Amino acid sequence: MQLYANWNFPTHVKIGSGALAEIGNCCKDLKINQPLIVTDKTLISSGIVQKLKNELIKNNLTFSIYSNVDSNPNDINLADGIDFLKNGNFDGVIAFGGGSAIDLGKLIAFMAQQKLPVWDFEDLGDNWKKANTNGILPIIAIPTTAGTGSEVGRASVLTDKKNKVKKVIFHPEILPKSVICDPDLTFNLPKFLTAGTGMDAFAHCLEAFCSPGYHPMSDGIALMGMKLIKENLIIAYNDGENLIARTNMLSAALMGATAFQKGLGAIHSLSHPIGAIYNTHHGTTNAVVMENVVKFNKEIIVEKVDQICNFLSISGGFNGFTNFIHELCKNLGIPKRLSDLGVKENQLQLISEMAVVDPTASGNPIKLTTKNTLELLKNCL
């Protein structure tokens, strides 16, 4: 099997071992001569960042690096990044790293010339139409984890640090113009990040498939994404340099983010406020609440789950599926409860109030109220 291809859905994607070597051509195609690299703090001195730098030098490209990116990127990171960009002569952004770096890199490129504050572009109604599209810099996204799929998304998640609230910022031009998915860059990913990011991708596919609405394309993509994760995540977790597993996980992350155009649900609407308050890893938090959210939605999604089980060859119907999630999380070393992540019972009321107004809540099969969400959180605690 040849694990190399060029994709143009939903944007131009180069995927395969060694694909990083295409960065020069990507910059040339987008007329980027001096890119700003936005990357995670933990990657700044890593070998994979050096690989990127070597490729840019080889192509005679001048660049600088901005790495003040928290694990849950916030408005302070964004303001600093915009200042950094404005003080240079940058004509494009290379967002390199996990979902945090890619989310922030996209927003830096988008917000550089905007007059309105970033919160005016929250994903509500037609807020995105307020944006000035002149001066939005071209974005190249290079993921080093297989989870968020932000590299093919038209939105970024940003934390309001003062108010401890995560918000989704949306605009079609936030979508990167070009994406490079090179599995070689994920070989040294720590096991806990392989687990958490992989479960994030699974949550995207699962919630998209179960979200109400008519979108057969998303449903088909979500099913295949879950299949790839079922067949490859444990392998990637146990054998980090397995090329086939790492490539398929990158593919699944792209598929999850493409599929959730249909909608997400309570897994994410719980995870967002928990991450904002406790700074927990997003994908890991998704995994911790996943089994209980599936049980919470059982009345509505039982037929959907039967379809998932048939496609993924999981026996036992609905209970078989929840057992599959339970065993998968166990084998990946995912914490069992929200209390293991530091969540306190005295914050559950606040979390429930934040969860029901999170933009992802509207995609949940059962309508979320503060009362039923509080009960759900107590079960997860």
Q: What pLDDT tens digit does each residue of the chain (381 aa) get?
A: 667 867 667 899 999 999 999 999 999 999 999 999 999 998 988 999 999 999 999 999 999 999 999 989 999 999 999 999 999 989 999 999 999 999 999 999 999 999 999 999 999 899 999 999 999 999 999 999 999 999 999 999 999 999 999 999 999 999 999 999 999 999 999 999 999 999 999 999 999 999 998 889 999 999 999 999 999 999 999 999 999 999 999 999 999 999 998 999 999 999 999 999 999 999 999 999 999 999 999 999 999 999 999 999 999 999 999 999 999 999 999 999 999 999 999 999 999 999 999 999 999 999 999 999 999 999 999
User: Under DSSP, is residue 136 helix (H, G, I), strand (E, B) or coil?
Assistant: coil
Domain ranges of the chain: 4-185, 190-380
Q: What CATH homologous superfamily does 190-380 map to?
A: Dehydroquinate synthase-like - alpha domain (1.20.1090.10)
Cα separation of 246 and 236, whole Å? 6
Point out which residues pair with 166 in neighbouring strands.
159
Nearest alpha carbon to residue 174 among 153, 204, 146: 153
> Which residues are CB-contacts of 342 (< 8 A; sequence separation ≥ 6)?
278, 280
44 CB burial (10 A radius; 0-12, 13-18, 19+): middle
Nearest alpha carbon to residue 195 among 148, 266, 245, 147: 147
Residue type, 225: G
Residue type, 134: N
Strand locations in the chain (E): 4-7, 12-16, 35-39, 64-66, 92-97, 139-143, 155-160, 165-170, 178-181
> Which residues are CB-contacts of 233 (< 8 A; sequence separation ≥ 6)?
194, 195, 198, 199, 202, 245, 249, 328, 332
CB 78 within 8 A of CB 117: no
**Block residue for tokens 């054998």:** 239
Chain centre distance of CA 142: 13
**Block residue for tokens 């490729």:** 55
Residue type, 113: Q
Residue 2 pLDDT: 67
| Helical residues (DSSP H) of 71-182, grouped into ranges | 75-86, 99-111
Residue type, 339: S
Phi, then psi, of 89 in degrees rounded to 5:
-105, 50
Cα separation of 202 and 14, whole Å? 22
User: Under DSSP, is residue 160 helix (H, G, I), strand (E, B) or coil?
Assistant: strand
Beta-carbon count within 10 A of 349 CB: 13
Beta-carbon count within 10 A of 236 CB: 28
Cα separation of 201 and 345, whole Å? 28
Residue type, 290: M
Q: Is the dihedral of CA 175, 147, 202, 5 positive or negative?
A: positive
Point out which residues pair with 74 in neighbouring strands.
159
Angle between helices 216-238 and 317-331 (to 10 degrees): 40
Cα separation of 192 and 201, whole Å? 14
Cα separation of 372 and 63, whole Å? 50
Question: Could you name the CATH architecture of 4-185?
Answer: 3-Layer(aba) Sandwich (3.40)
Beta-carbon count within 10 A of 64 CB: 14
* Identical topology for domains 4-185 and 190-380: no
Cα separation of 170 and 128, whole Å? 6
User: Under DSSP, is residue 122 helix (H, G, I), strand (E, B) or coil?
Assistant: strand
User: Under DSSP, is residue 186 helix (H, G, I), strand (E, B) or coil?
Assistant: helix
